[in-house]
Amino acid sequence: MMFSHNKASSMSLFHKLNLLTLNDVFKLEIAKVMHNIENNMHLPDYISKYFERVNWTHNYNTRHSNKSNYVLPKIRTETGKKSIVYWGPKIWQEVQPDIKSKPLLLFKKNTPII
């Protein structure tokens, strides 16, 4: 297909073809869910209740609370670290603040892979 060796790494092919890896798709989808929670868009309450904003925790301004971040929960098990409750805030912290406020279509298009 791309005339590469059959034992060559697929990462270079993904970049040449502008394709996302499975890990990148996972991160983008979670970032989209967090974007919808941030902008109060079409999510049931039972999903958004699992995410707590940093500025809800205390009343003083910090650099972390000014970036519309969410509290990263304390997870005790490896299974818990695989949940959206953990990955949502973790990935959302890595999204640039100017991209967080864009509409969903622009958000998807402008979000670099985290």
pLDDT digits (tens, 9 = 90+) for 45-104: 888 788 887 766 666 666 555 557 888 888 899 999 999 999 999 999 888 888 888 888
pTM: 0.75
End-to-end CA distance of the chain: 28
CA pair distance 61, 38, nearest whole angstrom: 19
The pLDDT tens digits of the residues spanning 15-46 come to 788 888 899 999 999 999 989 888 877 778 88
- Which two tokens mark 99? 């991209």
pLDDT of residue 46: 82
